[in-house]
Each structure stands twice: as C-alpha cells, then as structure tokens.
Amino acid sequence: MEAEIISVGTGLLLGQITDTNRPYIARALHDMGIDSHHQSIVGDNEKSIHAALNLAVSRAKLIIMIGGLGPTTDDLTKQVVSQFINQPLIPDSYTLSKLKKWHDDVGIEMADNNYRQALFLKDAVPLKNDFGFAVGSFYQNTIGPDFLLLPGPPWEMEPMFDQYVLPLFTKTYCNGQALSSLVMRYFGIGESRLSQLINGLIVNQTNPTIKTYAQKHEVVIRLKATSSSENKANNLNKKMATQINQLVGDYFYGVGEHSTLEKVVAQLLQEEEKTIAMTEVFTRGLVQSTLQNVVSNTELVTGGFNGMSALLDLTDDEIELSGDNGAELVKRLAELTQKRLGANIGLAILAEKPESIGHQEYVNEKVWFGLFDNQQQLMVTSQIFAKDHQDNIEEAIFVALDLVRRHLIHQDLVERA
C-alpha cells in the first residue's frame, strides 16, 4: 500500500509555519505498514494543487491532503479535489448544527462562507472535528486512489486522525488485523549505546517490530505489534517492553507519543503530594519555569532563587568558581533552599568554572546537582557538558528533572551511557 501526503498552505511554503502534520501522519502510516515514499507542500493555488494531484494519482493508492478546509477563498483543497474526482460536496449536518449553535451562543451572525467548513465529499465518511469546525473526509474511490482530507491546524488534525482516521484505516487497509504502537522514552543514554544493549532483541524482532530514534536530549523506542485483536496486540507490546527494560530500564522514564520528562515529574509531584523549591545558579530559573508550564497545581512549585546571595555569604561569581568544593556547596544550597522556602524538596544547580575545549562555540562545563528533602534524604551528582553554553543549559535542565524523578520513585542514580 502506497500513500502520498500533500500539505496545502502558502504559509508552509514561505517558512512562516512549520509543517508538523506530515511527519505525524508519516509515523502513523509506517506503524500501520503503509508506505509513504512521496510527500510534498503546495501553496493555496488551484493550479498547483491540480498539478500535485495529477502526479500523486500516478503513484499512490491513498492520497492524504492536509489543510485548506477552512472558510476563506484561499481554502481550496476540497473544492479542487471535488472537481478532480468529479464528486460533489455536500453539507455535514452535525458540523453545520455545531457551527450554527456556536454563532448563536456567542451572539455573532454566521457569515455565508462559514458554510464551506461543513462541506465534505459526497459518499465519503465525514470526520468529526472536536476542536474546530472544518469537517474532514475519507473517500474510498472505486476508479482510482482513495482520498483523505484533513484540517491544517495540528490541534485539530492530530485528534481527528487519532480518534477517527486510525480506526477507519485499520478496518480498510489492515485486513482486519489490529495494530498497536507503544512509544517508550529514555534519558541519560545515547541511541548507539541503547541500540547496542538491546541488539539481540532488534536482530530477532518479528512481532512487535522495534525502532529506535535519537531526539535532542533523549532516545525513543517505538514498538509496533499486530494481532487479531487490539488487546492481544497491546499485550505483545507490553511483553517486549518488559524485555527491553530488563536491559535498559535504568534509563526509562515514561511512555507516550506526547510524554515529556517535565510532565512525568509534574505528575509524580502531584501523586506524591510533594512540593519543590529550587536554587538555580547555572540554569537561571529555567528548571522552575519548565515545571511550572506543565503542572496543574501551581502550588507544587513553591519558588526559587536564581542567585545565591539570599542564601550564602558569597557572591554568585564566587559560587560559580567554586571549584573543588562543588559537592559540598550544592548540598548546602539544596538544604537551605528546602528549609527557607518550606518545600518538601530542595533542588540546587551550580557550575564550576568553564573551560574551552578547542572550539570557540564549545565550552566544557562541570555542573553540580543537589537534592535535599524534609526527610533528610540527599542526592548529589555532577555532569560535564561539552557543547555550546545554551545546549549545556538545556541538557542540565533534563538532568535536574531526572534527578527529581529518580528521587520520587526511589530509583538510584546511574552513570550516563
């Protein structure tokens, strides 16, 4: 099965908008065993869309169009596709009712062009838009490739695809086989090292399949299983995940396509009913702000210091040049932070004097991390970062979050691999 993905939007062509939709769909198609060897972007132009369709129908059995389903005159996708396959557009009663109700509720008269958002291809399956108004279409063509039309905003496209398209695709293209994907996330280990440690499982993989992906500060493993039922496919993935984590579980922090280390830490703080305060000399408040962006209860993060003069009789420069006493100093800072801000956990981060490593933009920075809680439990570690200063800061944020995570689940520190 060969699919072609076409994103529609002049803003994409001009670089004003980053296209996250095509990679999102491509990953999902890959998990289903559907190939996508061709992808493209076209502007909001009728001739350009026609040209892209003429090329796509010559090499694909499924054409996925993203964007251009809105109410304005430059939203042309479904109108062009309608002409291209000689299939009229008709209104979806659910979407039309939703549009009218929203306008009535807010007291705004509905413009005539809003009606365009409720149109979909006749004889297609209309796809509900839970976060917008533009209805999608899945049209199975008897004389050519099938068509899937999706809205462009990712916050509309992604849930529509996950909730309504994937079940249709499984039924239509997967011969009744249920598919299950499991995304596993790891921090503190590189892709090459992780792949080496699980190489035996990779070499002998059948069902589920195992793919590793390096991201900027973490590694992701994606499992894909097929079986006669979703429950059986899920169990195959869970069994493989257990085998993988017997080998690399020391670095595993969570599951899910949209999971992040900060979300995991925030959830643990919530579940354990723990509060945290921070003193960040090196990261300058960025760990605190990263956590605050994802916590549902803002009281979990009780505050913090970006400078040390409020805690110690030393200047910030003296602390950053602390040298040999980094471990003792970060321990003291963590303890004072916890006590003076009244949190369950105190976290401190500071750096020793940076050293050049031969490249103007690269700097060798040793950073100390200390954690102290109201039960007198202490965790201290250090890490040497050797990229440009901003990258070093970003990596330090991850290390700090992982330290908190390990403390909350009573997991020992491990060496970076």
pLDDT at 359: 58
Integer angstrom CA distances of residue 23 from 155, 164, 168, 179, 417: 15, 18, 20, 19, 29
3-class secondary-structure state, position 189? coil
Please say if the pLDDT value at position 313 is more than 60: no
Domain covering 2-173: architecture: 3-Layer(aba) Sandwich (3.40)
The whole-chain average pLDDT of the chain stands at 91
Residue-wise DSSP of 346-411: EEEEEE---EE-SSTT-EEEEEEEEEEETT--EEEEEEEE-S-HHHHHHHHHHHHHHHHHHHHTT-
Taking residues 181-208, what's their average pLDDT? 95
Using the predicted structure, report yes or no on whether residue 73 has a pLDDT greater than 80.
yes
Beta carbons within 8 Å of 171's beta carbon, 6+ residues apart? none
Whole-model pTM: value is: 0.74
Which pLDDT band, with edges at 50, 70 and 90, does 316 fall under?
low
> Is residue 369 within 8 Å of residue 381, measured between CB atoms?
yes
Give the Å distances, CA to CA, from 158 to 51, 70, 127. Answer: 26, 16, 12
Q: Let me know how many helices (H) and strands (E) the chain has, helices first.
A: 15, 18
Convert the pLDDT of each residue in 98-122 to its tens digit: 999 999 988 998 998 999 999 999 9
Say what the pLDDT of residue 230 is. 85
Of all residues in the chain, what percent carry a pLDDT higher than 90?
Answer: 71
Checking if the pLDDT of 138 tops 90, the result is yes
Question: Structural domain boundaries of the chain?
Answer: 2-173, 178-255, 261-408
For the structural domain made of 178-255, what CATH number should be given?
3.30.70.2860
- The answer to whether residue 136 scores a pLDDT higher than 70 is yes
Chain centroid to CA 263: how far?
11
Q: What are phi and psi of 355, to 5 degrees?
A: -130, 140
Asked whether residue 358 carries a pLDDT value surpassing 60, the answer given is: no
Residue 26 scores a pLDDT above 70: yes
If you classify domain 261-408 with CATH, what class do you get?
alpha beta
- The token pair at 283 is 């990261």
pLDDT band at residue 357 under the 50/70/90 scheme: low
Check whether 219 has a pLDDT greater than 90. Answer: yes
